[in-house]
Amino acid sequence: MLQERKKTARHEKIMSSLDELTYATRRQLQVINNLSGDRNAHRILHDMERDRLISSIRKEQKIYYLTNTGKQQIGSSQAELKQSWVTHVLMRNDLYIELGMPGDWRKEVPAKINGEMLLIPDAMFTRNGESHFVEIDNKQKMQTNIEKIKKYKKLSDAVFGQLNHTPTLIWYSLSDIRKEKLKSACERYGVKFKIY
């Protein structure tokens, strides 16, 4: 009986993390949920798929998501999933892990100035009392990224005026050429940044 309760609690923890992450690889779930070795993680996720709590799609590797049964079990209000989001979401998850899984990580929360929405960062968090905004660069037009950087400059000035610190804009890109363009644009508009 105790073993069954532990198993249910572990499954619910994994489903809750999938509710937050939307999509995740085995490795991401393994790290975030402390599932120890590869074999153990594979066994647990296989059991959850068999019980129809989660399902998967295959790209270069298995990518997991919550089923309707899993959503009901944990009371998820997750919207319908779109496969076009997969790469973007997996990149955001990788950055979340790379940044040490910030406790106040929030995804896609509107950033407002004087009550007016300026933009929606892919994620945001604070570290050492300073705001950090996250943007995932995945197949987005560079001009769109530059427009975002201009908006982040306005946001940065507002944050400095209210909280007396300059926030950091964190970019995650897989292209060296695009990283250079993002760096150049951030420097040109005077935005404090970091690129992964």
What residues contact residue 184 under an 8 Å CB cut-off, 6+ apart? none
In this predicted model, what pLDDT tens digit does every residue of 114-134 receive, in sequence order? 888 889 999 999 999 999 999
Flag whether pLDDT at 172 surpasses 90.
yes
In this predicted model, what pLDDT tens digit does every residue of 53-63 receive, in sequence order? 999 999 889 99
Domain 106-195 has CATH 3.40.50: no
Domain ranges of the chain: 2-78, 106-195
Q: The whole model's pTM is what?
A: 0.91
In this predicted model, what pLDDT tens digit does every residue of 58-107 receive, in sequence order? 988 999 999 999 999 999 988 888 888 899 999 999 999 999 999 999 99
Flag whether pLDDT at 1 surpasses 80.
no
What CATH code is assigned to 2-78? 1.10.10.10
What residues contact residue 31 under an 8 Å CB cut-off, 6+ apart? 97
